[in-house]
Structure 1
Amino acid sequence: MRVSKDKRWFKNPTNYLLGAYCIAVLLFFLAELKLFGLDQHLRATNQVLILFALLIMPFVIINMPSFIQSLTLRVSDKEFHVQLHELKSDFKHTINRVQQQVSTSEQSLWPMLAGEDILADQRLSQPNPELIIGTKSDPSQLFLSELLALAINHVEPDIRCVIRYPNGDSMHNFAELKYRWIDLYMDFTGTCIQYFNISHTADDDHTQCKSDEEIIETLNVYGQNLGIEWFPTLGCSEDYCLVMTEAQRDEHQIETLSDLKTKAKNLVISADPEFINRQDCLLGLVEYGINFKSVLPCGSDRYAALKTEEAQVFTGYESDPQLTKGQVVALQDTENFFPRYMALPMVSSKLVAAFPKLRDGFALLQGCMNTEDLNAAVSRITAANYDVQRAKAEALAIFNRTLQKKRVS
């Protein structure tokens, strides 16, 4: 074990930096004593020493936890206790959060800078038209995009559907749809109303929510100027929720989102970049009065910190296998903070104009499934490690069931 530690010491560049710092300070000290003739070559004025200290101090502070776990300072009979390892951890979390925010902004900025895809019309007018379906990174999107492709090919068999999975976050897909880099994707009502600052409630007390039809009608008013059209919902939802393990929930005595207003200050939330930057998510929760101790950014695996217990609260979807299997429990949203997130096709108006029959295909999907169907499909796809063939089979089962119901009716 000792040999291993020594090897790690030599591989750490910070140790070389601190060594150089100590040597430089020693040389300045010897020069001040006028030993070895160093005073002829080094001028350690106060200004030089101050600038040198300012230059090196950030590196020393950041890496002090490697050597010192805590520090106590006494000033005017008062003690200040600093946990240096927590300081380093908070610094890393802040850097990660900034990186995630920049990444989210970059995703949506690229389509806007590139402008409209000049090959979009060519793709759709060739003998075998190519239609591009965008997706987000969630496993439900893999399933829903396959369902869209089945509905399209049912009414337009010659169209070749290309599914881009994953294709980025909500804003990236929205921007790519507007500028025709993709032709459609499946989104959710609660997400779409954020693009235009549309309220999901019909009254000031937030007790009555708008219907899906009211929301879609309002969205299509905005969509006229953007070249985007929203179609009726599939009947299933993937609502946002905040979740905890049952043990953590009971320990902190939290049942509802509103309970977090007084208890979040002692809790860490694990959240993906999109949740961190959206008004209907973390930004809105802060305005709602929920301020967490810190935010632990995560990637596509939103439950990565579940086993390590680095976080106590997690962002969840109601289709998450962790939720449906009872690994975590959802906090009740008694005051309707979150809107409903009903799945619906979001389509380029030019695509529908070029292929009018697609309206019939999207109509087939209206009310084709419920949330339990979606949860079951997502659970099986996740268990199959996001296998595309598994997603195709799940989508085909739902679509065939829908066609059977249409024939019977």
Structure 2
Amino acid sequence: LMDFLMSKVETAVTPVSLRPASKKMSKESLERTKQHHKRILAVAGMIVIISSGYLLSHEFLNKHDLRIGSKDATESVIIGNMLSDLIEAKTDLKIERKLALGGTMIAFEALRSGEIDLYPEYTGTGYSTILKNKLRPGFTPDEMYTLVKQQMRDTHQIELLESFGFNNTYVLAVTQATAAKYHLKTMTDLTRVSHNLRFGCSPEFAARDDGLPGIEKTYGMTFKSVNNFSGTLMYTAITSDNVDVITAFSTDGLLQKYDLVLLEDDKNFFPPYYMLPFVNGKTNAEYPEIAQALSVLSSAIDDATMQKLNYEVVEKGRDRAEVARTFLLERGLVKPEDFKN
């Protein structure tokens, strides 16, 4: 349209004497042409006004009330989609999903600065990584929650809602055969026989105070050997009989795939890492319906359930948003008619 208009303007302002002979016009023709150009410009002006009005109204109609974020881990994105679906289904608020932002501090700074309004985070991560508290054994989940909630409110004006119920903390895992052979249910049980067993963990875990050195000190256990692996290689190592005990996260999807036994941390050495919504304080005050909408997820997901949801994505390749919505539908927390798109 602009090309067309410019060509017409160019023609209109070119003196008749400079136009090609075939385009020289009589006085009457020139007047008609000027009137024609005026009509074209008038129509163009109307088009611009209408288009601008449409764009502004479109922007207004599609304005989002809340921006929900997440870190980039599979688990965080699944839960971020659940939070978005629930708020959309149970309130009139419009949601913009800003998921998989990156690591902890990227997501938290986005929340603190108001770039997002809420995101799912772990109590243990809030305690140590964000608030810079020193980890210590013996924290109960309630103690950790109360402390982090108060410090987040006082220091960053961030509110914590209720926990979803699963605890994605470190665990020690063994095969079913090893558990049966040595009668292992707890980490204290493992202490009795650890000198006969080979241990697999990441290099980082082997050196951290809240890793292997801390376990050895708290439980008094010593392994026959310590072998370093990363990621899924630990699962390969234990299933191929290269090690007897490995570290894992309690909601890893691969735990279900390999049917490993998780040993209870009966001395509460590992800090609790319960996931829950971290909400910008201003947002929480302005929209109290958020907490009400999300309350149906309170203690609704245990470790085994989160393992399964992660497994659906990591091993079966399902879309994370689909896995999240399917869970909500199967639990009856939302209805198909709640979603119009």
TM-score of Structure 1 vs Structure 2, range by shorter chain: 0.5 to 0.7
Deviation at 1:342, TM superposition (A): 2.9
Indicate the larger mover: 175-184 or 361-370. 175-184
Q: CA 1:163 to 1:300, structure 2 compared with 1: closer, same or farther past 3 Å?
A: farther
- Contact 2:163/2:298 (CA < 8 Å) preserved in 1? yes
Report 1:251-330 matches (<5 A).
Answer: 256-258=186-188, 259-260=190-191, 263=194, 267-271=198-202, 280-282=210-212, 284-288=214-218, 289-290=220-221, 293-299=225-231, 303-307=235-239, 309-324=241-256, 327-330=259-262
TM-score relative to the length of structure 2:
0.61
Structure 1 residues 378 and 150 mapped into 2: Cα distance closer, same or farther (>3 Å)? same
> Which residue type is aligned with residue 71 of structure 2?
T
Local SS of the residue matching 2:98: strand
**Partner residue of 1:234 out of 164, 175, 190:** 164
2:123 pairs with 178, 181, 189, which one? 189
> Could you say which residue in structure 2 is the equivalent of 1:147?
82
Which of 332, 336, 343 lines up with 2:268 in the alignment? 336
Query: Matches of 1:171 and 1:228 in 2, distance apart?
Result: 14
Equivalent runs, 1:75-114 vs 2, <5 Å: none
For 2:96, the equivalent position in structure 1 comes to 160
Alignment-derived partner of residue 391 in structure 1: 323
Cα distance in 1 between the residues matched to 2:108 and 2:207: 15
The match for 2:63 among 103, 107, 127 is: 127
Residues 264-273 or 325-334, more deviating: 264-273
2:176 counterpart residue number: 246
Query: 1:199 offset after TM fit, Å?
Result: 5.8
Query: CA, structure 1 residues 279+191, in 2 after alignment: closer, same or farther (shift >3 Å)?
Result: farther
Instruction: Give the distance between the partners of 2:211 and 2:106, measured in 1 at CA.
Output: 17
In the TM superposition, residue 140 of structure 1 has moved relative to its aligned partner by: 3.0
CA shift at 1:271, angstroms? 3.2
Aligned CA RMSD, in angstroms, stands at 3.8
Q: State the Cα deviation string for residues 148-199 of structure 1 (Å, max 9, x = none).
A: 111332325322122117x23x566445544556543323334444453476
* CA drift at 1:242: 0.5
The higher-RCO structure (CA 8 Å, 6+ apart) is 2
CA pair 373-346 structure 1, distance change in 2 beyond 3 A: same
Residue 225 of structure 1: CA displacement?
1.0
Listed as ranges, the gaps of 5+ residues in structure 2 are: 1-61, 336-341
Partner of 2:145: 216
By how many angstroms is 1:330 displaced? 1.8
1:401 aligns with 2:337: no
Aligned residues of 1:130 and 1:162 also touching (Cα < 8 A): no
SS at the partner of 1:305? helix
Q: TM-score, length-normalised on structure 1? A: 0.53
Change (3 A) 1:268 1:237: closer
The alignment covers a number of residue pairs equal to: 266
CA deviation after TM superposition for structure 1 residue 325, in Å: 5.2
Whole-angstrom distance in 2 between the partners of 1:152 and 1:245: 41
CA contact (8 A) 2:68 2:80 kept: no
Alpha-carbon offset, residue 238 of structure 1: 3.6
Q: Deviations over 1:193-225 (max 9, x none)?
A: 445347674xxxxxxx6463x543321221121
Pairs within 5 Å for 1:60-79 = none
User: Measured at CA, do residues 144 and 211 of structure 1 come closer, stay the same or move farther in structure 2, by a change above 3 Å?
Assistant: same
Instruction: Assess, with a 3 A threshold, how the Cα gap between structure 1 residues 392 and 304 changes in structure 2: closer, same or farther.
Output: same
Report the structure number with the largest CA radius of gyration: 2
Q: Do 1:272 and 1:299's aligned partners in 2 also have CA atoms closer than 8 Å?
A: no
Alpha-carbon distance in 2 for matches of 1:193, 1:261: 32
Tell me how far 1:243 sits from its aligned partner: 0.5
Q: Could you tell me how far apart the structure 2 residues matched to 1:161 and 1:218 are?
A: 29
2:45 is matched with which residue? Answer: none
- Which residue does 1:94 correspond to in 2? none
Deviations 1:324-374 (A, max 9, x none): 456322223333323444331122324434544323333343233444443
Contact 2:137 2:268 in 1 (8 A): no
Distance 2:208 2:117 in 1: 24
Tell me how far 1:384 sits from its aligned partner: 2.1
Aligned-residue offset at 1:386: 4.6
Call closer, same or farther: CA 1:251–1:198 in 2, change over 3 Å. Answer: closer
CA contact (8 A) 2:215 2:221 kept: yes
Q: Are 1:268 and 1:310, in contact at CA under 8 Å, matched by a contact in 2?
A: no
Q: Which residue of 2 aligns with 1:349?
A: 281
